[in-house]
Amino acid sequence: MSLQNRVIVISGVGPGLGRGLALQCAKAGADVVLAARSEPRLAEVAKEVAELGRRAVPVPTDITEEASSQRLVETALESFGRVDGLVNNAFAMPPMTDLTAVDLDAVRAAFETNVLAALRLTRLLTPALAENGGSVVMINSAVLRHSRRTFGVYKMAKTALLSLAQSLATELGPRGVRVNSVAPGYIWADNLKWYFDFLGKQRGVPARQVYDETAATLDLGRLPEPDEVADAAVFLLSPLARAITGQCLDVNCGEWHH
């Protein structure tokens, strides 16, 4: 119970990693404040948290808007009186286009959700986090480790998010707030399952064959599950990581070494 009686705010709560983050934090003893645009999805995850014996407050939120983000923070503090951790998990898929051809407005939109919103939430919650020696975790990506074609905007956004986390670690460290990153590779959840099924149909092979071929390139011979990525975030939020800040923990079953 490494997060016993702590309060964790999680943005971008969806059916994959966002849900995994909420449930793993709850299993570690935390109460959670859940933020996303979809109210039904939030209610579903909040119910699962309650079934684990922890409290969950769902807050429909557009983290690209200042007023909506402020309401999230106010609701968290009104509900629990404290916040001990923040997981910036919200993500908007950047345009998968060569940088030489990409629409710059689409690049700006990607940065708004994937970088600036994380900065906004962290700044709004900094006073509460500083009161309790809190921790921030940015969910990054293995795109940091490669430069494949059409991933340019994606890498730009996630590299900026990494720099944001490192700089905030320096700024907030004197106030007792730690800031770290988790960089997953493949995550074996609904979106990837759909994509592997799509690739399999294109090639006329079972989706399982696509999985096996991909997994064979990873050291552990399998793809990470959402809970495994979430556990890394739980560790960084917990007192077990009390001397760790400004770091990026890769969770990829050995796809990339860093």
Cβ atoms 115, 164 nearer than 8 A: yes
**Which of 77, 204, 196 lies closest to 128 in space, CA to CA?**
77
195 is catalytic: no
φ/ψ (deg, to 5) at 249: -100, 115
Cβ atoms 244, 183 nearer than 8 A: no
CA distance 7 to 233: 14
- Per the residue annotation, which of 154, 186, 195, 211 is the catalytic one? 154
User: Between 226-237 and 17-27, two packed helices, what is the crossing angle to 10 degrees?
Assistant: 50
CA distance 103 to 114: 17
Which residues are known to be catalytic? 154
